Amino acid sequence: MSSWKLTLPCTRAEAEAIDANDEAVFEIDPSPVLLTSEVIADDPLAWQLEAYFESKPNSAALASVQALVPSSAGVKAVAEKIRDADWVTLSQAGIEPVHAGRFYVHTDTNKGKVPAGAKAFRIDAGLAFGTGTHETTSGCLLALDRLKAEGKRFENVVDIGTGTGLLAFAALHLWPRAYATASDIDARAVDVTAENAEINGIRLGGQQGELALAAAAGVEHPLLIGRAPYDLVIANILAGPLVELAPSIGAVLAEGGTLILAGLLKGQVNTVAQAYRRQGLRLVDRADRGDWPTLTLAKRVRYGTERVTRLSRGKGEAPGFGSW
């Protein structure tokens, strides 16, 4: 099979922005698989972007990829034809497995030796963000691992902006009897999550130990609202959407519930944290991986007539939105 490869210079900041901004990638047609890597170790200005296409890209597709890395504006974007090549294998060749806490994340081509006691997930590089290689995703894995080590128990979990489904899979591994939901604004990411669920033996459905899926902007979906309130919410997206979604995320988080936020930069922590303080949440932990912090927050418990409650449910019945 023939494929096409476009290589462009970029900076580390541009490479990290690509990982965090999957919407721009989803709009490119034909869809590329993107790989960023260092050209010179520890030089933030010497990185490169490689884009792999399964079919020949037109000039519009090349221009769209180049727009992701503005520093390459002076370079002519030309796709190189690669003969008899496995384009997925090529695109994943430079990706190393990630060992974060008790989790080990690998692709189809780089499994290597799974560390003793680690839970392995296969998440192939592709259109959806969240293979575990980016600091935001691995930071969330470590936050989940820490919560488990602290003895926390969760019964109703939602992963907003799931990308590949990895964080939802990890939560279900830690709390296998929980109800779990994963959503993404892009329907293709939901399809990717379903495919990855099958690969990793995750059952889809609405019962305990199963994962329910929805394509939704934030929490604006009947499934997400109907299964609220959640005692654990994970949102690994961008700082802007995190601030915008603070009221709705705060509303679906149960009193005393835990919220994990990622996708923001160090300079954006105060803005994001303040947005959630207004919703009655407090910051209980912060862990930085490079320039990318992961925040863990808790929602205060209200007492008296203002306290929000939910209706009881029968045995085996999925969580309901109750009196929200």
Cα–Cα distance, 313 to 162 (Å, whole number): 27
Q: What is the DSSP string of 252-317?
A: HEEEEEEEEEES--GGGHHHHHHHHHTTTEEEEEEEEETTEEEEEEEEPPP-GGG--------TTP
Tell me how far apart the alpha carbons of residues 157 and 152 are, in angstroms, rounded to a whole number: 13
Contact between residue 154 and residue 180 where contact means Cβ atoms under 8 Å apart: no
- How many angstroms separate the CA atoms of 238 and 265, rounded? 9
SS3 48: strand
C-alpha separations of 32 from 9, 62, 190, 278 in Å: 17, 10, 18, 40
Q: Is residue 161 marked as binding?
A: yes
Structure tokens at 244: 């915008």
- The verdict on whether residue 236 carries a ligand-binding annotation is yes
Q: How far is residue 235 from each of residues 62, 278, 286, 316, measured CA to CA in Å?
A: 31, 18, 15, 27
Instruction: Work out whether strand 47-53 and strand 3-10 pair parallel, antiparallel, or are unpaired.
Output: antiparallel
* Secondary element (H or E) of residue 73: none
Known binding residues for S-adenosyl-L-methionine: 137, 161, 184, 236
Known binding residues: 137, 161, 184, 236
